Amino acid sequence: MRFLSNKIYLIIALVTLLVLATAFVLGVLSSNKMREVISEQFNQQQLIIAKSVASDIEEKFDFIKNELHTLNLSPAIQYLEVSWPNRMQITMDNVKSYGVVEIGLVAVTESGTIAHRLDNAGRHYTEPVNPKAVPFCQWAQNPENKNKFYIQRTTWNIRNSSDTSYLLLAIPTYQVSLDESHPQALGNFTGVLYMLIDPYFLARKYAQDIRSGQTGYAWIIDAQGNFLYHPERDFIGKNAFEIREKRAARVSFDEINRIQRERMLTGQEGMSYYWSGWHRGVQAVMKKFIAFAPIIIAADNDALIWSVAVVAPQSEVEGAIHEVYIRQFLLQGFLILIILLAGGAGIYYESRWASSLAKEVERKTLELKKSNEELSISEKRYKSLVESAEDSILTVDSHGEILSVNRYGAQFLGYTVHGIVGKTLEALFPGKVGEVLQGQVERIFREKSGFRTVEELTLGDKEFTLNFTMTPVRDEEDNVLSVLIIIHDMTAVKRMEEQLYHTEKLASLGQLAAGVAHEINNPMAIILGYTDMLLEKVEEGSKEYKILKTIERQGNNCKRIVENLMSFARMPEGVQYDTDVNRNIELVMEVVQNTLLTKKIEFELHLAPNLPRVRGDAGQLQQVFMNLITNAVKAMPKGGKLTVTSRLHQKGDKVEVLITDTGEGIKREHLSKIFDPFFTTRKVGEGTGLGLSVSYAIISKYGGNIFCTSKSEEEYGEAESGSTFTVVLPVVSAVGEKNEPSGQI
């Protein structure tokens, strides 16, 4: 996570650098382009200014021309009336602000050439002149030049007293106008009307206020390349090609000279730049932008080409560019700052989010791990529960095929875990039980409700009582996935229940017997007592004697029945606590030996040597064995074989005695009843039906068990029939229980 984050930061930093570098390069390119554009625009503006100056000057020159023309139409001028100075003054007032310093008329008369002139101070003079000295006289006298203008740059004036170079504008004057004094136009040539214009004044008037940018200015050169106006006063009147070099010899003025020579003095307009050594007060080599426009001072004889230039140092443009650039840089910086801040904030929040996300993920992972662990523990617990359960636990699908089974279940059903999977319930439980189970599985899949049944069945050669609990296993949508079957082996429980049933039955019978015994023994004592007394009084062998004997015998029968009954009630607290089973068997066998011989019954004794002593009273055990052997003998009226076996139980904590006969066996339906008191299959008088229940009571009292397996003659035939009674007695532990009889009574 940290590594990834660093990588992202690195990428972001690189991208930012790239963006900044690109922005810088683009900025430089754009500033260059901008410089070009701004320079271009700046120069365009300069050009406009230059053209405006040129246009102003040309316009004023035209105005002057018009004024001159208007004045020339005045009769006062044409006819040289006395008011001529007044008329000139009117015109002078109109034009003197444009640099006109003198208006004059050189009149060519027969009497000579006389100049009538008015200066810009209002003074007027009339004086003769040498017509040859007047440059335009000859031109004016040519009738072809009537109404044409004459222009000339000249230092000429009437007095020739000045070096000042004027612009001379002249027009021939003819007597073509009418007035009161001259109602008819004579058309005579009067002379030449002229104006002297100060070109410096004119140039200064229109150039001196020009500002290009902060410091840019205009200058004007005339057709000879002399400065008509320049902010440097020293330059005015000087030759532009020379004066600069004089001023700054180390700077090459080739470019400006070339521009002046090739473009400005040829009447072109345009823009360019040149290198200069100063600008206003600043002395330095600098690039200057120049825009220039021609001023055409045109007349009919000639056209003077002047040129006005507007110049400004590059710094003017740079300043603007710089300002724009700064603004742009600030804007860019601001944008980058915002981007960086936004990016930073984004990264910050992203990283915070990522970190909180990481924490959340970590927490979730922990929880998941924990719950997985819990789940795994729970799963293990359940698995171990299932695996260690002493019940068969299996799942089956709708066809009754085994899907899973626990180890106990597989073992119980006689398979391995893998061997049983895929087998059907009907195959595992043949017959009716299998059908019932399969039917229930199908029903559970349909109806989704569980089922419980207790079935008795034979697996292998053993009989079992099994409790089947069947429950549906559902998914989240309540569909039945499989059926869980728990098979609980109830065989032992059922046997115990039966035993308990017998015991309880015997106990209640014992209580009953105790009461009955008391009630019967009292009258029996009287009956037998009196019989005994009477027997002494009658003759032996007499009829009465026989009767009394019968009474006595039946009374004794009664007594025996009651005694048997009393066996239930009379549970002596251990006349003897432990005894030798084999010895008791041998004693009983001695007694019954003769009977067996008589009844043609062969017998075998298989007594295991060195058996531990068992719990029980010798007399009572003998009674039990006697009962069982007597029963066996009675079961073999036609003779047979009696086998008595004693052996130590596998676990070593019990001794088993098996008494087996080959007699007629016990019918299946009777097997469950044989230990019930008063149950007998014999004829009345042959048995009381108490022998087995008494035996049962005795053995139970010592914590033992007695049970029977039998094959009846009806079911198995004579050859196979027979019964085995098994007496199980607990072994007396080495210490504690081996108490000798407490005393004699």
Binding site for another protein (CB under 8 A): 513-514, 517-522, 524-530, 532-533, 555, 559, 562-563, 565-566, 569-570, 572, 745
Question: Which amino acid makes up residue 255?
Answer: E
> What is the smallest separation between the CB atom of 687 and another protein, expressed in angstroms?
20
> What is the smallest separation between the CB atom of 566 and another protein, expressed in angstroms?
3
Q: What burial class does residue 709 get, using C-beta atoms within 10 Å of its C-beta: 0-12 exposed, 13-18 middle, 19+ buried?
A: middle
> What is the smallest separation between the CB atom of 517 and another protein, expressed in angstroms?
4
CB count, 10 Å around CB of 259? 22
Question: Which amino acid makes up residue 218?
Answer: A
> What is the smallest separation between the CB atom of 532 and another protein, expressed in angstroms?
6
Q: Closer to another protein at the Cβ: 650 or 744?
A: 744
Q: Closer to another protein at the Cβ: 255 or 563?
A: 563
> What is the smallest separation between the CB atom of 620 and another protein, expressed in angstroms?
14
Q: Closer to another protein at the Cβ: 382 or 530?
A: 530
Helix H or strand E encompassing 405: strand 402-405
**Phi, psi values for residue 111, rounded to 5°:** -80, 0
User: Which residues, at least 6 apart from 326, have a Cβ–Cβ distance to it below 8 Å?
Assistant: none
Range list of β-strands (E), 213-257: 217-221, 227-229
Q: Closer to another protein at the Cβ: 185 or 566?
A: 566
Q: Closer to another protein at the Cβ: 215 or 521?
A: 521
3-state secondary structure 453-498: EEEEEEECCEEEEEEEEEEEEECCCCCEEEEEEEEEECHHHHHHHH
> What is the smallest separation between the CB atom of 603 and another protein, expressed in angstroms?
33
Q: How many CA atoms lie within 13 A of 158 on its CB side?
A: 24
Q: Are the C-beta atoms of residues 103 and 190 closer than 8 Å to each other?
A: no
Torsion of CA 312, 317, 322, 327, to 10 degrees: 130
Q: Closer to another protein at the Cβ: 389 or 524?
A: 524
Question: Which amino acid makes up residue 3?
Answer: F
> What is the smallest separation between the CB atom of 618 and another protein, expressed in angstroms?
17
Q: Closer to another protein at the Cβ: 308 or 528?
A: 528
Range list of β-strands (E), 299-391: 303-313
Distance CA 196, CA 167 (A): 6
Q: Closer to another protein at the Cβ: 106 or 513?
A: 513
Distance CA 335, CA 343 (A): 12
> What is the smallest separation between the CB atom of 523 and another protein, expressed in angstroms?
8
What is the b/e burial string over 528-556, where b = at least 16 CB atoms within 10 angstroms of the residue's CB?
A: beebeeeeeeeeeeeeeeeebeebbeebe
Distance CA 444, CA 456 (A): 22
CA distances for 738 relative to 121, 517, 520, 654, angstroms: 173, 33, 38, 15
DSSP 415-467: S-HHHHTT-BHHHHSTTHHHHHHHHHHHHHHHH---EEEEEEEEETTEEEEEE
3-state secondary structure 110-129: CCEEEEEEEECCCCEEEEEC
> What is the smallest separation between the CB atom of 555 and another protein, expressed in angstroms?
7
> What is the smallest separation between the CB atom of 591 and another protein, expressed in angstroms?
23
Q: Closer to another protein at the Cβ: 513 or 611?
A: 513
Q: What burial class does residue 382 get, using C-beta atoms within 10 Å of its C-beta: 0-12 exposed, 13-18 middle, 19+ buried?
A: exposed
Question: Which amino acid makes up residue 132?
Answer: K
Distance CA 220, CA 190 (A): 36
Q: Closer to another protein at the Cβ: 510 or 640?
A: 510
Tell me how far apart the terminal alpha carbons of the chain are, to the nearest angstrom: 95
Q: Closer to another protein at the Cβ: 305 or 517?
A: 517
Can you name the residues that pair with 217 across neighbouring β-strands?
Answer: 311
Q: Closer to another protein at the Cβ: 8 or 512?
A: 512
Q: Closer to another protein at the Cβ: 298 or 520?
A: 520
> What is the smallest separation between the CB atom of 678 and another protein, expressed in angstroms?
17
> What is the smallest separation between the CB atom of 645 and another protein, expressed in angstroms?
34
Q: Closer to another protein at the Cβ: 387 or 552?
A: 552
Please name the residue that has the structure tokens 């440097």: 232
> What is the smallest separation between the CB atom of 607 and another protein, expressed in angstroms?
32
Q: Closer to another protein at the Cβ: 191 or 555?
A: 555
Instruction: Give percent helix, percent strand, percent coil of the chain, each to the nearest 5.
Output: 50, 25, 25
Q: How many CA atoms lie within 13 A of 416 on its CB side?
A: 2
> What is the smallest separation between the CB atom of 518 and another protein, expressed in angstroms?
4
> What is the smallest separation between the CB atom of 530 and another protein, expressed in angstroms?
6
Please name the residue that has the structure tokens 């790239």: 18
> What is the smallest separation between the CB atom of 694 and another protein, expressed in angstroms?
12
> What is the smallest separation between the CB atom of 551 and another protein, expressed in angstroms?
12
Distance CA 453, CA 441 (A): 13
Q: Closer to another protein at the Cβ: 422 or 572?
A: 572
Question: Which amino acid makes up residue 145?
Answer: N
Q: Closer to another protein at the Cβ: 534 or 658?
A: 534
Q: Which of 261, 273, 281 is nearest to 310 (CA)?
A: 273
